[in-house]
Each structure stands twice: as C-alpha cells, then as structure tokens.
A and B are shown apart, each in its own frame.
Chain A
C-alpha cells in the first residue's frame, strides 16, 4: 500500500471554516499523479521503515520486548500530539496513554503492516481512547467529544490512506492550533490578546497588564471575562462560573 507523505493537497484552514465533520480530512484537489511511496522516501526513512516492519512482526508474534520498543518509540508522540492537546490535562492524558498501551498490547495481534509504519494505527487507538475519556468525564478542554469523534474518524481515514508519521503529527498539531485560533478569533480582540499574553505566552501579570495598558487588577477582570467569553465561543456552558 502506498503512503501519503506530502501535505500539499491538505488544507485544514479551509476545512475548518466549513466546520465539516471531516476536519482533518485531506482536501482532494485535482488528482495529481503520485509516485509510489517507496520512490518518494529517502533511503534513511526506507531503512527505518524496514526495521520497523521487522519489529512489528516480532511484536505480532508475541515478542514482548519488540512491543515494548514500539510503545517506547511512539508513545511520547501520541502523548504530545494526540492525547495532551485533546484532553487538556497532563494527568488525564497520562491515564489515557496507559489505557492506549493496554489496548495496543491486547490488539496488536490484529495489526497489519501498511507500509507507513505502526504510528498511524497507534494514533487511531489513542484517538478512540481519548474520545472515551472525554465522554466519560466532562472537562474544560479546547476540544469537545464531537470534535474528537471527527478527529478519530479522520485518523482512521489517514490510516487507510497510509499517512506517514510526520504528516500525522503535523495534522494533529495543526488541528489544535486551528481550533484555538478559531475560538480566539470569535471573541473580542482585547480578550484574545489577554489570553495570548497571560495564558499562552505565560507573561507575568505586570507584563500582560502593561501590554494591555491596564492595571494588574483590571487585567484579572479582563482575563476572567476573556476566558468566560472563550468558553462560550467553544460551546461550553458558562453558567458554572459567575
């Protein structure tokens, strides 16, 4: 099976504007002839994939060390790109990573090599686990269960298409960025700036207040209003917070 390693035809921005269920689905632009996967990869990556295939075969045959090696290699990427951004809490993301590993260990016998490595398959498992986690416990996160359900479906399509690890990771990061930018774009620009300065860039209260031209205690109120507005923009119920 061939793998997609190019991001040329994919436009998350365009997709997001339409808020289609397939937020991560690649845009199928004019069909362009695609060279076979192996021809588009550099020799180093090809050698890496071959080693990965052998490792996966050993793991499928019940070699625990091989399976542990796979988890050690790809687990941190799943945590960083899939679980943490979507679950919004380190503790919850770590629990989800543990559950993902348990599921992978149980199901790895069903894994089929698709030419692009193990990561896209692991990503689908992690997405499903994250979705279950988000559904089971209501949390304040950037993503809601519907977003995650769409992302999980998209991850399955990516697996079918044989997306390369790097592109999967890039898509996940991009999805989080777009989601955040869209939500910030929906609120007052001054509120968005307060969130960017104080929350995302982690500036001190004094610095953020200086940038906004207000006193620090006014900044606290501005930030409070900003986060309430963002929560509303994300579709959350802000009745909990006065």
Chain B
C-alpha cells in the first residue's frame, strides 16, 4: 500500500523546467554551498563590465590562459609567453652579462687564430713533412740494401750452422697435460693456453739461439 506522499507524487503533474530550476535554487539556498568558480568569474566580469564577459569563456581558453600565466612566471613554455618576453626585452635596456661578453670576444679572436694558423703554416709544414719523408726513404733504401747484402752473405753460414744444430722439433702438446684427467666442460682454457705458450716460447728461443750459434 502506498503512503500519502507517494500517492501525491504519482498524481501530481510533471514539473516544468522553470519549476525544477526554482526547486534547485531553493534547495541550494537551504543546503548552502559555493557557487561554481567559473560561474562566479562570469558573473563578476558581467557586473564589472569586462569585455571578457561579452562571450563565454571556454574551458580550453581558461586552461590555455592558465598555461600562459605559468609560462610568464617561468614555469613551462607557451608561444605567447615567448612573444611577451620579446616585447619586454625590445623596450628594455638589458645589458649583456659581462662574463658572457668576454667569452664571446675571446672565442671570436681565437677562432680567427685557429682558422688562420693552418692557412699560414700549411705550406711550411707540408714542405717539412715532404722533406722528412724523402730523407727517411733515402736512408731506408740504403739501410735495406746493406741489410740485404749482409743477410745474403751470412745465409750460407747460417744454413750450415742450422744443419749441424739439433733443433727442438714440432710436437704435440699432450705431454704438457695429465692424460688421465679429462678437461673440465667449462673453464681452464686460459690456463691451458698459457701453459702451451710458455712452453713453446721457450722452445722457440732455444731454437733461435741455436741457429745463431750462441748456444
């Protein structure tokens, strides 16, 4: 069974928009609360006769205006803030920082030096390098000729000596390791190679000294 207020609602005609707005206003007046900030701004602007109130302020515009404000305060960037900055410096009399200025002067002067130096000294440097290369070639040829002659002269003697000297022959590296122990699946490669190199280097030196007849 329906209560009396519910029956009243069922029987009552549908309220018009005007009535609903009035009811909302009455509720707001009774309950309290704050007006929307943007609505308040619009009402203020209207009351103060500001031209902004002539047309509705779009939310995007408000957001962009806020971005501009932050950019003007040095937080973030905005194309219009760049323009504002340009206006500010165009009419101001801001001086260049002294240290920056000195750096620019020095850079310009040194840049010239750096550019001029290669141009000025390049022919001289080229001539010196060419001369040195010529001398080195000449000395190199002379030395090479002499070395070749000396080697050719000593070759029969060396061959004879080599023939009479017993050299250590090439052989397997098996003897360097314990045949009963298998290599590990991983690791130990460097140590094994190191042992082979040390052994064979010793053989190589011994053979060379033997060939030269010093052993």
A positions within 8 Å CB-CB of B: 64, 67-68, 71-72, 75-76, 79-80, 84-86, 88-90, 93-94, 97-98, 101-102, 104-106, 139-143, 176-177, 179-180, 188, 190, 195, 198-200, 202, 205, 212-215, 217-218, 220-225, 227-228, 230-231, 234, 236, 240-242
Cα distance A88–B84 in the bound complex, in angstroms: 9
User: Which A residue sits closest to B107, measured CB to CB?
Assistant: A98
One of B50-58, B127-135, B156-164, B175-183 contacting the partner: B50-58
B88 interface residue per 8 A CB criterion: yes
Given contacts A88-B86, A88-B89, contact A97 B112 (CB under 8 A): no
Q: How many residues of B contact A (CB 8 A)?
A: 48
Closest residue of chain B to A88 (Cβ to Cβ) is: B86
Shortest beta-carbon distance from B212 to chain A in Å: 63
Report chain A residues within 8 Å CB of B88.
199-200, 202
Roughly how many angstroms separate A67 CA and B113 CA in the complex, as a whole number? 13
Residues of chain A lying within 8 A (CB to CB) of residue B65: 220-221, 223-224
User: How far is it, in angstroms, between the C-alpha of A101 and the C-alpha of B104 when the chains are bound?
Assistant: 7
Q: Which B residues contact A (CB, under 8 angstroms)?
A: 37, 41, 44-45, 48-52, 57, 60-62, 64-66, 68-69, 72, 78-80, 82-91, 93-96, 100-102, 104-109, 111-113
Taking a contact as CB atoms under 8 Å apart, the answer to whether A195 and B87 are in contact is: yes
Chain A residues contacting B72 (CB-CB under 8 Å) are 198-199
Given contacts A199-B87, A223-B65, contact A76 B101 (CB under 8 A): yes
In the complex, the answer to whether A241 meets B64 with C-beta atoms within 8 Å is: yes
Query: Least Cβ distance of B168 to chain A in Å?
Result: 70
Picked from B83, B101, B108, the residue with its CB within 8 Å of the CB of A230 is B83
Neighbouring B residues of A102 by C-beta, 8 Å: 107-108, 111-112
Q: Which of B51, B52, B100, B113 contacts A94 (CB 8 A)?
A: B100
Q: B interface, by DSSP: helix, strand, loop or mixed? A: helix
Query: Chain A interface secondary structure, helix, strand, loop or mixed?
Result: helix
User: Which residues of chain A are near B86, meaning CB under 8 Å?
Assistant: 88-89, 139-142
Question: Is the Cβ of A214 less than 8 Å from the Cβ of B45?
Answer: yes
4 A-B pairs with least C-beta separation: A88-B86, A101-B108, A224-B65, A140-B83
- Which residues of B are found within 8 Å of A225, using beta-carbon distances? 52, 61
**Cα(A200)–Cα(B106), bound, Å:** 34
Cα-based distance from A234 to B80 in the complex (angstroms): 12
Residues of B within 8 A of A75 (CB): 96, 101, 104-105
> What's the least CB distance linking A221 to chain B, in Å?
5
User: Given A71-B105, A102-B112, 10 more contacts at CB 8 Å?
Assistant: A80-B95, A88-B87, A89-B86, A102-B107, A142-B86, A190-B51, A220-B68, A220-B69, A227-B80, A242-B61
